[in-house]
Structure 1
Amino acid sequence: MTTYRVCCFLRRFRAASNEPSEELGDVFQAYSDGGSVMGDEALRRFLREVQGEAAVGDDELEATAREVMAFAAEQRLLRKGGAGAGLTVEGFHRWLCSDANAALDPRKRVYQDMGSPLSHYFIYTGHNSYLTGNQLSSGCSEVPIVKALHDGVRVIELDLWPNAGKDAVEVLHGSVEVDETMDQCELHDPADEDSILSDWWLNARLRFRPNYRAPFNNMFMLICWRIWKERNARIFEQRCKTPEALVEDIKEEAVTWREAGIFPDCCDFVLCSFLPMLKLVGRPLADPATMGRAHHRPASRRRCSGTRRLQLTGRCQPPPEKKLTTFCSRRTLTSPVGLMKCLEAIKEHAFVASPYPVILTLEDHLTPDLQSNVAKVHLDHLTIFFLFFFFFFNGGIDRWISLTQMIKETFGDMLYVSEYENMAEFPSPDDLKEKIIVSTKPPKEYLQTKNDNDADEAGVWGEEITDDKVATAMIEEKCAAAAVVDEEMQEAETDKKTQQGVDNEYRRLIAIPLTRRKHDMDQDLKVDPDRVTRLSLGEKAYEKAIVTHGADIIRFTQRNLLRIFPRSTRITSSNYNPLMGWRYGVQMVAANMQGHGRKLWLTQGMFRANGGCGYVKKPDILMNNDPDELFDPTSKLPVKTRLKVTVYMGDGWRFDFRKTHFDKYSPPDFYARVGIAGVEADTRMEQTKVKMDTWIPAWDHEFEFPLSVPELALLRVEVHESDNHQKDDFGGQTCLPVWELRRGIRSVRLCDRSGEPLRSVKLLMRFDFT
Structure 2
Amino acid sequence: MTSVLYSVRLQLDENLEQMQQGTMMRKVKSKNWKKPRYFMLQDDCMTVWYKSKMSGKAKSAFSVSDVETVREGHQSEVLQSLAEEFPAECCFTVVFHGRRNNLDLIASSAEEAQCWIQGLRRLVEIVTNMDQKEKMDQWICDWFMKADKDKDGRMNFKEVQHLLRMMNVAMNEDHAFRLFQMADKSETGTLEGEEFVLFYKALTQRDEVLELFQEYSEDGKKLTLLEFVDFLQQEQMEGAGIDELAMEMIDRYEPSETAKARHILSIDGFLVYLCSPDGSIFNPEHRTVFQDMSQPLCHYFISSSHNTYLMEDQLRGQSSVEGYIRALKRGCRCLEVDCWDGPNGEPIVYHGHTFTSKIPFREVVTTLDKYAFRASKYPIILSLENHCSIEQQDIMAQQLKGILGEQLLTTTIDGRVPVQLPSPEELKGKIILKGKKIGHLEDYLNGHLDEPPEREEEEEEEEGPEAEEEVLRNEDKKKEKKAKQSLSQELSDCIVYCKSVPFHSFQHSRSHYKSYEMSSFAESKARKLIREAGNDFIRHNAWQLTRIFPSGLRTDSSNYNPQAMWNVGCQLVALNFQTAGTEMDLCDGLFSKNGRCGYVLKPSFMKDPETAFSPENPQSRENGSPLNIAIKIISGQQLPKMPNSKEGSIIDPLVRVEIHGIPADSAKQETKYIDDNGFNPQWNEAFQFQVRVPELALLRFVVEDYDKASRNDFVGQYTLPLTSVKAGYRHIHLLSKDGTGIPPASLFVHIRIRELSTESD
TM-score, normalised on structure 1? 0.64
- Paired residue type of 1:409: G
Alignment-derived partner of residue 720 in structure 2: 736
Counterpart mapping for 1:655-694 below 5 A:
657=641, 662=645, 664-694=647-677
Q: 2:328 aligns with which of 149, 163, 179?
A: 149
2:87 is equivalent to residue 101 of structure 1? no
2:527 is equivalent to residue 543 of structure 1? yes
Counterpart mapping for 1:220-299 below 5 A:
none
1:531-574 deviations in Å (ceiling 9; x for gaps): 43111011111121222232221111111000010000111111
Decide whether the 8 Å contact of 1:367 with 1:494 is kept in 2.
no
Alignment-derived partner of residue 205 in structure 2: 19
2:753 is equivalent to residue 769 of structure 1? yes
- Paired residue type of 2:206: P
Alignment-derived partner of residue 509 in structure 1: 494
Q: CA deviation at 1:81?
A: 8.3
Secondary structure (helix, strand or coil) at the match of 2:404 reads: helix
Alignment-derived partner of residue 692 in structure 2: 708
Decide whether the 8 Å contact of 2:506 with 2:537 is kept in 1.
no
- Paired residue type of 1:147: R
Q: CA deviation at 1:80?
A: 7.0
- Paired residue type of 1:131: L
> In the aligned structure 1, how far is the partner of 2:730 from the partner of 2:245?
14
Alpha-carbon spacing, 1:513–1:359, altered in 2? closer, same or farther (3 Å): closer
> In the aligned structure 1, how far is the partner of 2:161 from the partner of 2:285?
39
- Paired residue type of 1:506: L
> In the aligned structure 1, how far is the partner of 2:647 from the partner of 2:223?
41
Identify the structure with the greater strand proportion. Answer: 2
Alignment-derived partner of residue 70 in structure 1: 251
Q: 2:573 aligns with which of 567, 571, 589?
A: 589
Counterpart mapping for 1:175-194 below 5 A:
none
Alignment-derived partner of residue 683 in structure 2: 699
> In the aligned structure 2, how far is the partner of 1:53 from the partner of 1:501?
60
> In the aligned structure 2, how far is the partner of 1:755 from the partner of 1:699?
25
> In the aligned structure 2, how far is the partner of 1:531 from the partner of 1:71?
49
Secondary structure (helix, strand or coil) at the match of 1:644 reads: strand
Identity of aligned residues (%): 31
2:118 is equivalent to residue 123 of structure 1? no
Aligned residues: CA RMSD? 3.1
Secondary structure (helix, strand or coil) at the match of 2:254 reads: helix
> In the aligned structure 2, how far is the partner of 1:531 from the partner of 1:731?
45
Secondary structure (helix, strand or coil) at the match of 1:673 reads: strand
Counterpart mapping for 1:348-367 below 5 A:
348-367=370-389
Alignment-derived partner of residue 631 in structure 1: 613
- Paired residue type of 2:375: A
Q: CA deviation at 1:755?
A: 1.2
Q: CA deviation at 1:723?
A: 2.2
- Give 5+ residue unaligned stretches, structure 1: 175-330, 373-401, 449-479, 481-488
- Paired residue type of 2:670: Q
- Give 5+ residue unaligned stretches, structure 2: 1-159, 177-199, 441-450, 452-467, 469-475, 755-761
2:29 is equivalent to residue 46 of structure 1? no
> In the aligned structure 2, how far is the partner of 1:105 from the partner of 1:525?
39
Decide whether the 8 Å contact of 1:527 with 1:556 is kept in 2.
no
Q: 1:173 aligns with which of 351, 360, 368?
A: 351
Secondary structure (helix, strand or coil) at the match of 1:526 reads: helix
Secondary structure (helix, strand or coil) at the match of 2:365 reads: helix
Alignment-derived partner of residue 220 in structure 2: 35
Decide whether the 8 Å contact of 1:77 with 1:90 is kept in 2.
no
> In the aligned structure 1, how far is the partner of 2:252 from the partner of 2:546?
47
2:647 is equivalent to residue 652 of structure 1? no
> In the aligned structure 2, how far is the partner of 1:514 from the partner of 1:531?
10
Alignment-derived partner of residue 250 in structure 1: none
> In the aligned structure 1, how far is the partner of 2:682 from the partner of 2:339?
53
Q: CA deviation at 1:72?
A: 3.7
Decide whether the 8 Å contact of 2:496 with 2:516 is kept in 1.
no
The size of the alignment, in residue pairs, is 524
Q: CA deviation at 1:88?
A: 2.5
Counterpart mapping for 1:271-420 below 5 A:
331-372=353-394, 402-419=395-412
Alpha-carbon spacing, 1:35–1:676, altered in 2? closer, same or farther (3 Å): same
> In the aligned structure 2, how far is the partner of 1:524 from the partner of 1:652?
57
Alignment-derived partner of residue 622 in structure 1: 606
> In the aligned structure 1, how far is the partner of 2:700 from the partner of 2:386?
37
1:255-290 deviations in Å (ceiling 9; x for gaps): xxxxxxxxxxxxxxxxxxxxxxxxxxxxxxxxxxxx
Q: CA deviation at 1:163?
A: 2.0
> In the aligned structure 1, how far is the partner of 2:165 from the partner of 2:211?
37
Decide whether the 8 Å contact of 2:618 with 2:693 is kept in 1.
no
Alpha-carbon spacing, 1:712–1:527, altered in 2? closer, same or farther (3 Å): farther
1:359-418 deviations in Å (ceiling 9; x for gaps): 11110111222212xxxxxxxxxxxxxxxxxxxxxxxxxxxxx32221111111111222
- Paired residue type of 1:691: I
> In the aligned structure 2, how far is the partner of 1:702 from the partner of 1:142?
46
Q: CA deviation at 1:636?
A: 4.6
> In the aligned structure 2, how far is the partner of 1:494 from the partner of 1:163?
26
Secondary structure (helix, strand or coil) at the match of 1:700 reads: strand
Alignment-derived partner of residue 725 in structure 1: 709
Q: CA deviation at 1:63?
A: 3.9
- Paired residue type of 1:631: F
> In the aligned structure 2, how far is the partner of 1:421 from the partner of 1:525?
22
Q: CA deviation at 1:502?
A: 4.8
> In the aligned structure 1, how far is the partner of 2:600 from the partner of 2:261?
48
1:427-465 deviations in Å (ceiling 9; x for gaps): 1000011111111111579xx9xxxxxxxxxxxxxxxxx
Secondary structure (helix, strand or coil) at the match of 2:632 reads: strand
Alpha-carbon spacing, 1:591–1:715, altered in 2? closer, same or farther (3 Å): same
> In the aligned structure 2, how far is the partner of 1:169 from the partner of 1:596?
30
- Paired residue type of 1:26: E
Q: 1:754 aligns with which of 735, 738, 742?
A: 738
2:536 is equivalent to residue 560 of structure 1? no
Alignment-derived partner of residue 142 in structure 2: none
Structure with greater contact order relative to length (CA < 8 Å, sep ≥ 6): 1
Decide whether the 8 Å contact of 1:422 with 1:531 is kept in 2.
no
- Paired residue type of 1:647: I
Secondary structure (helix, strand or coil) at the match of 1:514 reads: strand
> In the aligned structure 1, how far is the partner of 2:698 from the partner of 2:207?
26
1:469-522 deviations in Å (ceiling 9; x for gaps): xxxxxxxxxxx9xxxxxxxx9xxx9997x974853332221123333325x324
Decide whether the 8 Å contact of 2:340 with 2:350 is kept in 1.
yes
Q: CA deviation at 1:708?
A: 0.3
Decide whether the 8 Å contact of 2:411 with 2:496 is kept in 1.
yes
> In the aligned structure 2, how far is the partner of 1:172 from the partner of 1:718?
35
Decide whether the 8 Å contact of 1:563 with 1:589 is kept in 2.
yes
> In the aligned structure 2, how far is the partner of 1:351 from the partner of 1:81?
43
Decide whether the 8 Å contact of 2:706 with 2:712 is kept in 1.
yes
1:691-734 deviations in Å (ceiling 9; x for gaps): 22221112222211111000000001100111233332221011
Q: 2:629 aligns with which of 618, 629, 643?
A: 643
Decide whether the 8 Å contact of 1:368 with 1:499 is kept in 2.
no
Alpha-carbon spacing, 1:426–1:81, altered in 2? closer, same or farther (3 Å): closer
Alpha-carbon spacing, 1:495–1:135, altered in 2? closer, same or farther (3 Å): farther
- Paired residue type of 1:610: N
> In the aligned structure 2, how far is the partner of 1:522 from the partner of 1:152?
31
